[in-house]
């Protein structure tokens, strides 16, 4: 280890920045975030430093650096574009043992400034020892994605109970176990999602127990996995996938996404294709309740968004009824994903002012309001519409849409095997059969489909018959 990582208390301590440019401004900003008393010495200041000076956030010595500037400094950063001056500052500081950093010159530094992830009071500092600041920043970005923006709140939660937990568990190992359970369990999730009162209550309950075991009721995460491309997961989805004890998933969840779940997590497949309801919804609900009651963190992973034709509402309702804590994480729904990856804007000022999502078939065999769907300047997106494609197109024509209204089918949207078939209400059903379109496919109807020709950007696979896919139309 070439450098010892430490965190220095510089609150109200005099810190000197030599230089008045943008780089100096960034360093001054960092020092200000740690509540230092910052002085900048430079003949001229850049715009943001002028603002800081005028706001009284920094003091300014408007002249070139003099050795006497160092007097009383707790820490010095040299950020000028004058190498000789930077070297002089460094040499002087080292002589009087003042910690000094020279931007982009590790050999002149007695300390280096890490890349940081700020979840105050939790701070993660990353350094490459000066070898590659870009590498340090890349590592930092990875950490950023793993720590939710509100992560610092966990420290507040812990702080509030610290003394009581200490009294309750005098044994160090027990205490540690208690905190591990709290900070990785449902109480933490509640805190991170803004349910602070519930979080505190959960810790209270845990404190009352005889042994510091995990909280007896787990939690269910109803998570939208998006349409297929793992890159479209949210940060929260990814984080919950990595901490879940068990993953309950269905057919629409892409294997590449499932792979991102914690390796040790148990996986339970609950199926669901249109004609193959492997498990009735009631049974899925019961599985979720049972697992949560065993104290598990249950990830209910659903294709697209849980609240758009995903029965997320029914599952959440079953959990609410049994008093099981849950949270719902939105996902990119098939309409957004397929539309973007096929270059078909769902609304457009020239072509469509509204957009409706409908299912291709209804639970009770009921019928859609075809007149309401057959409106000008409206995009209609049909989920689960492949099976009844022909009748859907006919009904829309019957309700007043022109047979030439453009329509698209997007199969396996956002994945490497995406296929886009373009036609109109009259031609699409025949073409879909001809090109053997398979589920999952999304039907998009409306003038916006015309834009595909110019806006298609994503390279999908080939058509089933091997001809280049993209614009089959």
Rounded to a whole number of angstroms, the distance between the first and last alpha carbons of the chain is 61
Q: Does 148 bind ligand SAH (CB under 6 A)?
A: no
Least separation in angstroms between CB 303 and ligand SAH: 5
CB 271 within 8 Å of CB 251: yes
Tokens, residue 223: 């998570």
Nearer to ligand SAH, 308 or 428 (CB): 308
Least separation in angstroms between CB 469 and ligand SAH: 14
Q: Does 333 bind ligand SAH (CB under 6 A)?
A: yes
Q: How many CB atoms lie within 10 A of CB 456?
A: 17
Q: Pick one of 77, 113, 308, 397: the residue that binds ligand SAH (CB under 6 A).
A: 308
Give the relative orientation of helices 196-208 and 172-184 as an angle to the nearest 10 degrees: 150
Q: Does 413 bind ligand SAH (CB under 6 A)?
A: yes
Q: Pick one of 15, 154, 384, 445: the residue that binds ligand SAH (CB under 6 A).
A: 384
For ligand SAH (CB under 6 A), the number of binding residues is: 23
Q: Pick one of 199, 289, 299, 410: the residue that binds ligand SAH (CB under 6 A).
A: 410
- Give residue for tokens 């995460």: 221
Q: Pick one of 40, 338, 368, 432: the residue that binds ligand SAH (CB under 6 A).
A: 338
- 302 as an active site residue: the answer is no
Q: Pick one of 301, 442, 449, 472: the residue that binds ligand SAH (CB under 6 A).
A: 442
Q: Does 24 bind ligand SAH (CB under 6 A)?
A: no
Angle at 110 between CA 105 and CA 114, to 5 degrees: 70
- Dihedral of the alpha carbons of 117, 118, 122, 123, in degrees to the nearest 10: 50
- Give residue for tokens 């000028």: 80
* Of 231-239, 284-292, 412-420, 459-467: span binding ligand SAH (CB under 6 A): 412-420
Q: Does 133 bind ligand SAH (CB under 6 A)?
A: no
Q: Pick one of 441, 448, 452, 460: the residue that binds ligand SAH (CB under 6 A).
A: 441
Taking CB atoms, the residue at the shortest distance from ligand SAH is 304
Q: Pick one of 151, 169, 178, 309: the residue that binds ligand SAH (CB under 6 A).
A: 309
- Give me the residues paired with residue 444 across strands: 381, 408
Q: How far apart are CA 341 and CA 415, in angstroms?
A: 9
* Per-residue x/- track, 214-253, ligand SAH (CB under 6 A): -------------xx-----------------------x-
Least separation in angstroms between CB 375 and ligand SAH: 21
Nearer to ligand SAH, 215 or 384 (CB): 384
- 296 as an active site residue: the answer is no
Q: Does 303 bind ligand SAH (CB under 6 A)?
A: yes
- Nearest C-alpha neighbor of 321 from the set 288, 298, 296: 288
* Of 34-42, 156-164, 260-268, 333-341: span binding ligand SAH (CB under 6 A): 333-341
Catalytic residue among 250, 305, 412, 424: 250
Q: Pick one of 102, 414, 422, 463: the residue that binds ligand SAH (CB under 6 A).
A: 414
Q: Pick one of 148, 412, 420, 435: the residue that binds ligand SAH (CB under 6 A).
A: 412
Q: How far apart are CA 283 and CA 288, in angstroms?
A: 9
Least separation in angstroms between CB 196 and ligand SAH: 30
* Of 67-75, 364-372, 398-406, 439-447: span binding ligand SAH (CB under 6 A): 439-447
- CA 308 from chain center: how many Å? 19
Q: Pick one of 345, 439, 450, 451: the residue that binds ligand SAH (CB under 6 A).
A: 439
- The 10 Å CB-count burial string (b at 16+, else e) for 160-185 is ebeeebeebbeeeeebebbbebbeeb
Residue 472 phi, psi (nearest 5) = -80, 90
Nearer to ligand SAH, 65 or 249 (CB): 249
* Of 108-116, 139-147, 408-416, 419-427: span binding ligand SAH (CB under 6 A): 408-416
Q: Pick one of 316, 383, 445, 449: the residue that binds ligand SAH (CB under 6 A).
A: 383
In 149-216, which residue ranges form alpha helices assigned H by DSSP? 152-168, 172-184, 186-192, 196-208
Catalytic residue among 272, 296, 302, 470: 272
3-state secondary structure of 46: coil
* Of 112-120, 231-239, 306-314, 423-431: span binding ligand SAH (CB under 6 A): 306-314
Q: How far apart are CA 26 and CA 38, in angstroms?
A: 12
Give Rg (Cα) of the chain.
30
109 Cβ contact list (under 8 Å, min separation 6): 90, 100, 101, 102, 130
- Give residue for tokens 């039907």: 443
- Nearest C-alpha neighbor of 32 from the set 56, 54, 63, 6: 56
3-state secondary structure of 41: strand
CB 342 within 8 Å of CB 314: no
Query: Among all residues, which ones are annotated catalytic?
Result: 250, 272
> Rule CB under 6 A: which residues touch ligand SAH?
227-228, 252, 302-305, 308-310, 333-334, 338, 383-384, 410, 412-414, 439-442
């Amino acid at each position: 280890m070439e450098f010892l990582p430490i965190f220095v208390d510089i609150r109200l301590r005099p810190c000197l920045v030599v230089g008045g440019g943008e780089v100096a401004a960034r360093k001054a900003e960092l020092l200000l975030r740690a509540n230092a008393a910052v002085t900048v010495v430079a003949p001229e200041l850049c715009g943001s430093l002028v603002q800081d000076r005028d706001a009284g956030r920094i003091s300014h010595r408007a002249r070139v650096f003099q050795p006497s500037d160092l007097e009383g400094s707790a820490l010095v950063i040299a950020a000028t574009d004058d190498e000789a001056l930077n070297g002089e500052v460094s040499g002087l500081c080292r002589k009087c043992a003042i910690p000094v950093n020279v931007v982009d010159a590790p050999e002149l530094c007695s300390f280096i400034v890490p890349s940081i992830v700020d979840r105050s009071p939790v701070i993660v500092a990353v350094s490459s020892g000066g070898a590659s600041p870009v590498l340090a920043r890349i590592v930092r970005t990875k950490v950023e994605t793993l720590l939710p923006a509100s992560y610092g709140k966990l420290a507040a939660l812990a702080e509030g109970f610290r003394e009581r937990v200490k009294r309750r568990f005098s044994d160090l190992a027990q205490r540690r176990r208690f905190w591990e359970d709290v900070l990785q369990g449902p109480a933490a999730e509640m805190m991170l999602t803004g349910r602070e009162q519930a979080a505190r209550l959960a810790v209270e309950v845990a404190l009352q127990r005889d042994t510091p075991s995990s909280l007896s009721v787990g939690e269910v995460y109803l998570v939208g996995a998006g349409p297929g491309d793992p890159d479209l997961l949210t940060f929260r989805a990814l984080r919950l996938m990595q901490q879940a004890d068990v993953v309950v998933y269905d057919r629409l969840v892409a294997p590449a996404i499932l792979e991102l779940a914690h390796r040790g997590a148990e996986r339970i497949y609950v199926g669901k294709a249109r004609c193959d309801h492997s498990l009735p919804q009631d049974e899925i609900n019961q599985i979720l309740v049972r697992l949560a009651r065993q104290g598990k963190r249950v990830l209910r992973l659903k294709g697209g968004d849980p609240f758009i034709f995903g029965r997320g509402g029914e599952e959440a309702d079953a959990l609410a009824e049994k008093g099981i804590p849950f949270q719902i994480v939105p996902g990119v729904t098939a309409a957004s994903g397929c539309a973007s990856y096929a270059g078909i804007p769902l609304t457009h000022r020239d072509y469509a002012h509204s957009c409706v999502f409908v299912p291709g078939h209804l639970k009770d065999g009921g019928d859609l309001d075809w007149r309401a769907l057959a409106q000008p300047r409206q995009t209609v997106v049909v989920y689960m519409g492949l099976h009844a494609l022909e009748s859907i197109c006919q009904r829309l024509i019957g309700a007043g849409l022109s047979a030439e209204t453009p329509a698209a089918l997007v199969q396996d949207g956002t994945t490497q095997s995406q296929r886009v078939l373009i036609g109109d209400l009259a031609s699409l059903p025949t073409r879909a059969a001809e090109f053997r379109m398979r589920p999952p496919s999304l039907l998009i109807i409306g003038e916006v489909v015309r834009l595909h020709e110019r806006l298609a950007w994503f390279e999908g696979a080939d058509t089933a018959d091997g001809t280049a896919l993209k614009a089959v139309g």
